[in-house]
Structure formats: C-alpha cells, structure tokens
Copies of this chain bind each other. A is one copy, B any other.
C-alpha cells in the first residue's frame, strides 16, 4: 500500500472561521465556551467545526497557553522489576481512565538510575512536555520534590512528602492490615517470624517494616529478624535461603511484596519444606496469580487502579490552580488470608 499521504491537509481554525464567515477569534471563543458570543453564532460555528472535523492543534494551543496537556510518570526501576510488579501497570491504567476524558495524555519514562531520573524530570519540565508529575515510590530525602519545585511543576504524591505542600497528597494506612496479619499469625501459634523487606531507602518500605516490628513486639515476638531485599524474585529467594538455612528457622515469613513471597515459597519447596505445614508465607500486593498459586498466597490487597484514578483527578485540579491543605486518605489495604499461612509447626 502506497502511504496515501501527499501532505496531510489538516483543517485549521481559520478554515472554520472562513466557513462560518467570522473571525478566527470568534471561533476560538465559541469553541472554548467563552462568554460574549451570540448563541446563534456559536451554534453556527460549532456546527461548521464539526462539519469540517476540526480539532485544535495541540502544539499550537500548548504554545500559546503554555500548557502541555499531558502529565508525566517516571519509573526509576529496572525493566525487569517494573514488568514483574503489577502495581505500576494498574496505576497507569487508573490514571489513563480519567485523563482520556480530559484530553490529557500520559507520558511515561523508564529510567535505571537516579541520575537518569533527574535528567528525565528536568527534560520533561524544561521541554514543556508535561504540566505535572505523578510521584510514586517515595524515597528517603526524595530529590524529586526539589526538582518539581524548581521546575514549577504541579504534582501529586503517592505517600507523605518530606515537606508541607499545597499539592495533592494521597496516603493510606497500612497499620490496620499489618495488625491483622500479625494477629492471624499469632493466633496460629507463630512465635518465630521473620521479614523480607524492600530497599530501606524507600520510605514506605521502611515504614512497613517498622509497623510490622511494632506489632510483633506488642505480642512479645522477637522483631529483629528482617532481611533487606530489592522486591525482585531473585532477591526474595536469596533472602529466604538465608533465613531457612540459618539456625532457629522461622515458622513464618512475611514479605513486602508478592513476587519475593513467591520466590520464597520456591526456596522453601526446594529444601523439602511444605507450605504452610512447615513454614507459613504472607505476601503483600495481591498480584493476579497469587490466588492461583498452590498453595494460594496469603497476602494484602491494594487498590492501584483507584489510586491512579484519584491521583489523576487531583493532579488535574492542582494544575487548574486548586490548592490542597489536607492529604487525601485512600481506602486501607486489606489482609486476605489464603492457604499459604497455617498453624505453626512444632
């Protein structure tokens, strides 16, 4: 097929103006629902525009109003880690679900170092490619807040930012789910438990670990056994191996994501241990396959799609000028006991 191009003739605002017999100013007013256009004229213009199939050129509009009509999402993550974590994809889908209706687009980037992340932020901002950023996976002393501040970009933060801000912030309380997990394990008789946690430079990962420890202590359980890992399957397997091969093997292990938990189960199996008879496993995330595993994984469900929806809505409002004083609380994650956790072995 010969690409039937030959200069795609796009219809401009001046074409609509000519067709309707008015100035292009009036067309602009009419189609942006500005006051000061006679109703009859407005209708005629709208009709003509529809007839000609006119849609405004985004670059042109972007240039004149200094808005990109797009928001950015930068993942600082290995492609592998990104691909195997459903949270982000669902979050994206949630963002899209509201952006599409507002004629906004989502510009994504995947970078593999904080240096590249910095460049990506600067580039998106300086190029005028986006009007705001979605900030996820908050880290200790997160540099991204300074970047958006300097760039004058709006943002929405999924998690507590380091300073007060007038931008929207989404938070939720993990302590309830954690309390449930710990009680569940204690009720099943577990006394020797260990944690496999995410990178401790990552603020939520740290908080989650601390909340678990707090609850463990409240039940008189030694909370000192935790291993820092990296949310990958390989990392989870290695951490689990260390726990299982050490002395005083735990009777239960809680993981900070499902992927590590699955890998942990695999490590247990390869040592001839049975789950949950010999060791109980609890994950975090509730990825799709968790319920299809054998045994099905006890875990904590989150709501990334809804997070995305709310984040996008608020970010658009922030871009529109709204100021936020209070963080928005999202529904809490919820513990879902399944087959991988059972009575403690003797």
Contacts and interface: CB of A to CB of B under 8 A. Distances in A.
A136 interface: no
A326 interface: no
Contacts of A263: 289, 292
A163 interface: yes
B70 A79 contact: no
Contacts of A108: 92, 96, 106, 108
A63 interface: yes
**How many copies of the shown chain assemble into the complex?**
2
A105 B94 contact: no
Nearest to A111: B100
A84 B291 CA distance: 13
Interface in A71-104: 79-80, 82-84, 86, 88-90, 92-94, 96-97, 100, 103
A138 interface: no
Given A83-B93, A89-B82, A152-B3, A58 B266 contact: no
A41 interface: no
Given A57-B127, A83-B90, A89-B82, A292 B107 contact: no
A248 to B, nearest CB: 25
Interface size class of A (residues with CB under 8 A): 35 or more
Interface in A10-67: 10, 55-60, 62-63
A197 interface: no
Contacts of A289: 84, 233, 259, 262-263, 289
Q: Which of A70, A167, A269, A289 has most B Cβ within 10 Å?
A: A289
A60 B152 CA distance: 19
A84 B287 contact: yes
A70 B292 contact: no
A287 B88 CA distance: 16
Interface string A227-262: 000000100010000000000000000000001001
Nearest to A130: B105
A266 B293 contact: yes
A128 interface: yes
Contacts of A57: 63, 127-128
B1 A55 contact: no
Given A57-B127, A120-B100, A1 B83 contact: no
24 contacts: A1-B163, A4-B150, A4-B152, A5-B152, A55-B126, A57-B127, A58-B127, A59-B128, A62-B62, A83-B288, A83-B304, A84-B86, A84-B288, A84-B289, A92-B108, A96-B109, A100-B116, A103-B127, A105-B107, A233-B291, A265-B292, A266-B293, A269-B294, A270-B294
